[in-house]
Amino acid sequence: MDVPNLNAFVAVAETGSFSVASDQLFLTQPAISKRVSALETELDVQLFDRIGRKVTLTEAGTELLSRARTILQQVEDSKRAIQNLSGHVAGKLSIGTSHHIGLHRLPPVLRAFTHTHPEVELDLHFMDSEEACHAIEHGDLELGIVTLPLEPAKVLHTYEVWPDPLDIVVNQSHPLTLLKKITPKELANYSAILPTRGTYTRQIFEHTMRKHKLELKVGLSTNYLETIKMMVSVGLGWSVLPRSMLSKELKTLCIDGITLERKLGIVWHSGHTLSNAAKAMSDMLMPGEKIC
């Protein structure tokens, strides 16, 4: 099977759109349609049902998708393995990272890396840590520099680079600031502003609160920590934020029996060959450790 045709098929399957796939692959929409049609002709099956603008996989398309991803990943692994033989550190390095890490942790790392390896083209994708890990699982990114999952998928390797203490915070006039001693139960009586359900930071906090058998009153949820900080500062509720984000308009609460920390670090796929550029980045983030 032709690799460009498989690329086009996977792009349409993942985006659900020929036009979005064409933008993603920097091709015209007729070119994408031609490649998918060629693949359908070769396999003598219909891979997509096209109803108006809606595109869905047929049974044959669903069966092909996982195999197509595997074939494309094997092709990419083969290219990297051959290119790595030279030992030259160059080419594109695709990294997924969160906005928080991109703002607060990565700048000195990227500065040092680009200075040491000027021939590497950094392809940074800012996204939720959960989304980055998912992209690494599917071979769409080489590395993630993210909040590490509590229970990573079996195919993912993780390595902690930075411990990231979390504090429970309110604004300076919140009623909880008047209490000398605060229990988890008292905290749960007030409305919270938390990261969206399913995010690793939310999972860490909920895991801790479950030990106290408490249900939270969550008034607002968002994935953006800077937005949470703003909403807490104007008195809309309490929240959990990295200690590195605290400022004078916020007050840290000491809650009996609650100590919070998340781990920030690097994630990669255990079954994929990494480029020399990815290995160089991992060496910078993991001194003394080696990715096998």
Lowest-pLDDT range, 84-88, 89-93, 136-140, 164-168?
Answer: 84-88
Place of tokens 């091709």: 27
Question: What pLDDT band is residue 290 in, cutting at 50, 70 and 90?
Answer: low
| Bridge partners, residue 259, by sequence | none
User: How high is the pLDDT of residue 209?
Assistant: 85
pTM as predicted: 0.74
- Can you tell me the mean pLDDT for 186-197? 92
Distance (Å, rounded) from C-alpha 10 to C-alpha 35?
A: 11
pLDDT tens figures, 101-114:
998 899 999 999 99
Q: For residues 91 and 142, give the distance between their C-alpha atoms in angstroms, rounded to a whole number.
A: 12
Helix, strand, or coil here: 285?
helix
| Average pLDDT of every residue of the chain | 91
Do domains 3-83 and 163-262 share one topology? The answer is no
Q: How confident is the model at residue 212 (pLDDT cuts 50, 70, 90)?
A: confident
| Helix ranges (DSSP H) in 85-144 | 99-104, 106-116, 129-137
Cα separation, 233 vs 174, in Å, equals: 10
What number of helices (H) and strands (E) belong to the chain?
A: 11, 11
Look at the alpha carbons of 55, 59, 61, 65 in this order and tell me if their dihedral is positive or negative. positive
Q: Which of 171, 193, 201 is nearest to 100 (CA)?
A: 201
Domain residue limits, the chain:
3-83, 89-162+264-285, 163-262
pLDDT of 35 higher than 90? yes
CATH architecture assignment, domain 89-162+264-285: 3-Layer(aba) Sandwich (3.40)
Tokens representing 120 are 């590497």
Q: What are 162's strand-pairing partners?
A: 264
Q: Which CATH fold would you assign to the domain 163-262?
A: D-Maltodextrin-Binding Protein; domain 2 (3.40.190)
Rounded Cα gap, residues 50 and 58, in angstroms = 10
Read off the pLDDT of residues 117-143 as tens digits, 9 standing for 90 and up: 999 999 999 999 999 999 999 888 999
State the average pLDDT over residues 75-81.
80
How far is Cα 105 from Cα 83, in angstroms, rounded to an integer? 30
Q: What contacts 164, CB < 8 A, 6 or more positions away?
A: 147, 242, 243, 244, 261, 262, 263, 264
Summarize the chain as % helix, strand, coil (round to 5). 45, 25, 30
Q: Tell me, which fold does domain 3-83 have in CATH?
A: Arc Repressor Mutant, subunit A (1.10.10)
